Amino acid sequence: MATTLSLLSLASFLISCLLALFLFPELCFCFHAKRSTLSTMATNWSPARATWYGSRDGAGSDGGACGYGQAVSQSPFSSLITAAGPSLYQSGKECGACYRVKCTNHPSCSGSPVRVVITDSCPGGPCASDSAHFDLSGTAFGAMARPGQEEQLRGAGVLDINYARVACDYSGTTITFRVDAGSNSNYFAVVVEFEEGDGDLAGVALREESNESMAWREMQQSWGVVWKLDAGSEFHAPFSIRLKSQYSGQTLVATNVIPQGWKPGGTYRSLVNFL
């Protein structure tokens, strides 16, 4: 009797899963794990140096070389961002990667780690000569200080810190696609924002769901977090977008995330994320 009940429970669970996949296709995460994810790995700290730029309580350049624009000062980034030297920025491939940074060798250091996101490039000076360098926003630099000692820490100039690559965590925010203002019926470019987990992308592909036989078409990384597809023919929305994580190789699909009637400059939020 117990075995029969177990089988019935298992059958009921499987039916529920199939119904969910049918009724809510965008909830299919489509993960294909290749390596361990950052969220499952131990934190390994390494030495680096840090400076800060922009306004004292600002978001660095209020935009940056990755293409996030004004989003860097808004939630969930909330100005806790950094420009990175060439060894970390990697010509834009690491845009969106998350790190914890902390300082301990200055009297104003709290020793508590602060999570920051790479949103900009710092190409010269100590950023280029140091083996690893973070040019933090004024907000992020001050966040490493003891309460009330933010100004003393910002006055330190170049600061020795420790850093560790970690998973991004945007508190349940789903991935957002901001269509580039230059997009049209034959050219499509999009800014991909708020990828949890690894944070950075190895590949993006687009499929026109209006044509069931249409294969996935790989997009090119234009710069930073901007991905483009020059189709050479007219697009027909809605579009699904497939994302591949840079670090772990995991993939997910945001089904029909770009709707019919999409507009250049429009922002479209998916129902999925990597965590």
Question: Domain spans of the chain?
Answer: 26-36+171-269, 38-166
pLDDT of residue 267: 97
Q: Which residues contact 275 (CB under 8 A, 6 or more apart)?
A: 39, 167, 169, 196, 197
Mean pLDDT, the chain, as a whole number? 86
> Percent of the chain scored above 90 by pLDDT?
72
pLDDT of residue 52: 96
CATH architecture of 26-36+171-269: Sandwich (2.60)
Pairing of strands 251-258, 217-218: unpaired
CA distances to 53, 79, 112, 143, 199 from 147, rounded to whole Å, are 20, 18, 11, 9, 29
Predicted confidence (pLDDT) per residue in 144-172, tens digit:
999 999 999 999 989 999 999 999 999 88
Largest CA distance in the chain: 74
CATH number of 38-166: 2.40.40.10
The three-state secondary structure class of 31 is coil
Q: Which of 168 and 33 is assigned the larger pLDDT?
A: 168
Predicted confidence (pLDDT) per residue in 40-71, tens digit:
566 789 999 999 999 999 898 767 899 999 99
pLDDT of residue 32: 41
Q: Which residues contact 105 (CB under 8 A, 6 or more apart)?
A: 160
Q: What is the C-alpha to C-alpha distance for residues 17 and 11, in angstroms, rounded to an integer?
A: 10
Predicted confidence (pLDDT) per residue in 68-94, tens digit:
999 999 999 999 999 999 999 999 999
